[in-house]
Amino acid sequence: MSGNSPAAHARLAQLRQRCIWFTGLPGAGKSTISALLQQRLHAADRRCYVLDGDVVRQGLSRDLGFSAADRAENNRRVAEVARLMVDAGLIVLVSMISPFRTERHRARTLFAPGEFVEVFVDTPLAECERRDPKGLYARARRGELRNMTGIDSAYEAPLQPDIHLHPHLASAETCVETILDHLLA
């Protein structure tokens, strides 16, 4: 079913609350795809919210840095906030590098079965670095930025994501259709 059809809209409007967790390298396209998905859900009158890793770092997690321990704690807090928001009836779109497998698994354990949807935004490092929307890769390569995921900090790719996207091979619109197909399946 096309996610754009009136029937799909009606079904999206009825979609139960859940956490859709976008993980991937910096510049992979997490924000773009989650924002587009939010538009589609809003267009169907389904309340949702993008919980953006960068925004959380300016507020709730502004006491944390980018060490492995601080990244794990940041991941924990975002997962707890997402859980509260799901409890409030929202569809939460978490958009965050979330590089560690263990921490993403911990996040999943906070939710009921099927309520946590891990979306791997699998853009290759070379392509992320070519895009470099915030200039972070360039700064990391010049040695001006430490603990940059993909450069000098590990990214542990999901082994069995619920949804596996390849944004370098498909448009953001197509990626969103893939997610909608999964949600409406």
- List residues near its own copies by CB under 8 A: 47, 49, 51, 55-56, 59-60, 77, 80-81, 83-85, 87-90, 110
How near is the Cβ of 80 to its own copies at its closest, in Å?
Answer: 4
Question: Phi then psi for 94, rounded to 5 degrees?
Answer: -85, 125
How near is the Cβ of 145 to its own copies at its closest, in Å?
Answer: 25
Told to judge if 98 belongs to the known catalytic residues of this protein, a careful annotator would answer yes
C-alpha dihedral sign at 23, 52, 46, 1: negative
Taking the CA atoms of residue 1, residue 17, residue 50 and residue 121 in that order, the dihedral angle to the nearest 10 degrees is -50
Which residue out of 31, 34, 61, 98 is catalytically annotated?
98
Residue (72 or 125) nearer to its own copies, CB: 72
How near is the Cβ of 143 to its own copies at its closest, in Å?
Answer: 33
Residue (51 or 128) nearer to its own copies, CB: 51
As given in the structure block, the two tokens for residue 86 are 């799901």
Residue (46 or 104) nearer to its own copies, CB: 46
Nearest CA among 94, 90, 88 for reference residue 117? 94
Sheet holding 18-23: strands in order across?
A: 48-52, 91-95, 18-23, 116-121, 163-165
> Which residues have a catalytic role annotated?
98
